Amino acid sequence: MLERIKQIYNEAFEKINNVNNIEDLNNFRNSYLSKKSELMSFMSKMKEFSGEEKAKFGQTINEVKNKILSLIETRKTELEEKMLNEKLASEVIDITLPSVNMKRGSKHLFNSIVDEVSQIFIGMGYKIAEGPEVETDEFNFELLNVPKGHPARDMQDTFFIDDTRLMRSQTSPVQAHVMLQAKGVGPIKIISPGKVYRRDDDATHSHQFGQIEGLVIDKDVSLADLMGTLQLFARSMFGEKREVRMRSSYFPFTEPSVEVDISCFECGGKGCSLCKGTGWIEILGAGMVHPHVIEMCGFDTNVYQGFAFGIGIERVAMLKYGVDDIRRFYTNDLRFLKQFDKE
């Protein structure tokens, strides 16, 4: 029987190389190592032996079993490697072929305008300041010279959260934050881009839109400084030939207050449908910071003066690129947005 057991291993050794796939290898395993295989059947005959013969018989069976297992594992590794190589050979990628044209994202027009305007003012020495979108009544109104009951509060419908908190209706509160943090010591020269919220929703107004507020506080600041600043901005943004004019207006936090127009870049000031025949296009509101606002924010009005301006981000984009509906900025229509992909 010992000789037959050794012959079983020799047979397995000769046949293993004829196994060419995993399924055949599993059948091979069953034929030599299952409970019904010839090798395993010898286990039932161990009771015919005793003492050293029984131990030797059992040891021989286990040695042959382990050798066959080793043959199977080696062949399995060889077959798996062969299968992998065949698969890789059938899936060769020609790296000389042109790549797939992947769709890529781009910067939103809103953010592009914010960056463009910001870079213009940074070039003039301004710093960027930010503030919370959920504001208090004090910063959104009272510190900007709009106390409770003031008729100017009717000029805008505000989203109130409770009696004292609201969604800011302008970026002007950032001015008050920055001035109070300065503790009465200038100069201050900042812009504050961000989102604001009002109860408007039509082709030219949105309940959420963007503003860039500008503030300068320093000694000997005049309306002429404001005029020069806005003229440089207009020419940088809309072209070198742009002219700027100011019209008297009213804002509670500036005195005097002005509406600022630029000469129409479509007709050169001759009059067209864009400028409604006037030759001018309104772009922003501005003015000298009201002395009361300066005082409430901790500055001495005998020493410091200032000017402020507010630029509508979508307004600038609509004028520069001929966008006819402010709601297009928020519909996520890729056909619209791809028109302004500069990269």
Number of DSSP helices (H) and strands (E) in the chain, helices first = 11, 9
What pLDDT does 152 receive? 61
Q: How far apart, in whole angstroms, are the C-alpha atoms of residue 282 and residue 229?
A: 16
- pLDDT reading at 338 higher than 80: no
**pLDDT per residue over 265-304, tens digit each?**
777 677 777 678 888 888 889 999 999 999 999 999 999 9
Q: What is the mean pLDDT of residues 54-66?
A: 78
Angle at which helices 313-321 and 223-238 pack, to 10 degrees? 50
**pLDDT per residue over 23-54, tens digit each?**
888 888 888 778 778 777 777 676 676 777 77
Angle at which helices 22-33 and 51-90 pack, to 10 degrees? 170
Q: What is the mean pLDDT of residues 103-132?
A: 87
> What Cα–Cα distance (Å) separates residue 112 from each residue in 13, 307, 322?
74, 26, 15
Predicted TM-score (pTM) of this structure: 0.64
User: Residues 79-116, buried b or exposed e (16+ Cβ, 10 A)?
Assistant: beeeeeeeeeeeeeeeeeeeeeeeeeeeeebbebbbee
- pLDDT reading at 14 higher than 70: yes
Dihedral (CA of 52, 56, 57, 62) sign = positive
Q: Is the pLDDT higher at 177 or at 8?
A: 177
How far, in whole angstroms, is CA 322 from its chain's centroid? 26
Give every CB contact of residue 297 below 8 A, 6+ residues apart in sequence: 143, 175, 176, 179, 180
Q: Is the pLDDT higher at 211 or at 155?
A: 211
Evaluate whether 35 touches 93 at the Cβ level (below 8 Å).
no
Question: Which parts of 131-273 fold into alpha helices (H)?
Answer: 137-140, 173-182, 223-238
Q: How far apart, in whole angstroms, are the C-alpha atoms of residue 295 and residue 239?
A: 38
- pLDDT reading at 63 higher than 60: yes
Q: Is the pLDDT higher at 223 or at 103?
A: 223
- Residue found by looking up tokens 């005029």 in the block: 227
